[in-house]
Amino acid sequence: MAKKTTLASPSKTILASRRKFLRTAGVGGAAVAASTLSAPYVNAQAPIRWRLQTYSGAPLGAHVIKPQIDAFNAAANGEMEIELYYADQLVPTAELFRALQNGTLDAVQSDEATMASPVDISVFGGYFPFATRYSLDVTALFRYYGLQEIWEEAYNEVENVTWLSAGAWDPLHIFTVDKPIRSLADMQGLRVFGVPTAGRFLSKYGLIPVTVPWDDVEVAMQTGELDGVAWCGFTEAYEVGWADVCNYALTNSVTGAWFGSYFANTESWEKVPPHLQELYKITIDQSHYYRLGWYWGGEAKLRVEGEKMELTSIPPEEWATVVKDAEGFWDEVASSSERAGKVVDAFKQYAANMEKAGYPYR
Q: What is the CA radius of gyration of the chain?
A: 21
**What does the pLDDT read at residue 29?**
43
Cite the beta strand spans of 21-93 per DSSP E: 48-54, 80-85
**What does the pLDDT read at residue 13?**
66
- Successive 10-residue mean pLDDT values, the chain, 362 residues: 57 63 46 42 75 95 96 98 97 96 98 94 96 95 98 97 97 97 97 92 95 94 97 95 97 96 98 98 97 92 95 97 96 97 98 93 79
**What does the pLDDT read at residue 360?**
86
**What does the pLDDT read at residue 195?**
83
Please give the CATH architecture assigned to the domain spanning 44-168+258-301.
3-Layer(aba) Sandwich (3.40)
**What does the pLDDT read at residue 10?**
64
DSSP 160: T
Alpha carbon 258 to its chain centroid, in Å, reads 5
**What does the pLDDT read at residue 331?**
97
Same fold, 44-168+258-301 and 173-256+308-357: yes
Residues 97/116, Cβ–Cβ less than 8 Å = yes
Residue 294 half-sphere exposure, CB side, CA atoms within 13 Å? Answer: 29
**What does the pLDDT read at residue 32?**
39
**What does the pLDDT read at residue 6?**
57
Residue 32, SS3?
A: helix
Would you list the domain boundaries of the chain? 44-168+258-301, 173-256+308-357
Sign of CA dihedral 321, 327, 209, 296: positive
User: What's the angle, vertex CA 187, arms to CA 295 and CA 328, rounded to 5?
Assistant: 80
Residues 53/90, Cβ–Cβ less than 8 Å = yes
Cut 0.85: pTM above it: yes
Cβ-count burial of 200 within 10 angstroms (0-12 exposed, 13-18 middle, 19+ buried)?
Answer: middle
- CATH H-level superfamily of 173-256+308-357: Bacterial extracellular solute-binding protein, family 7 (3.40.190.170)
Cβ-count burial of 361 within 10 angstroms (0-12 exposed, 13-18 middle, 19+ buried)?
Answer: middle
- Rounded to 10 degrees, the C-alpha dihedral 95/100/103/106 comes to 130
**What is the Cα–Cα distance from 277 to 101, expressed in whole angstroms?**
19
Q: What is the DSSP string of 318-361?
A: HHHHHHHHHHHHHHHHHTT-HHHHHHHHHHHHHHHHHHHH-TTT
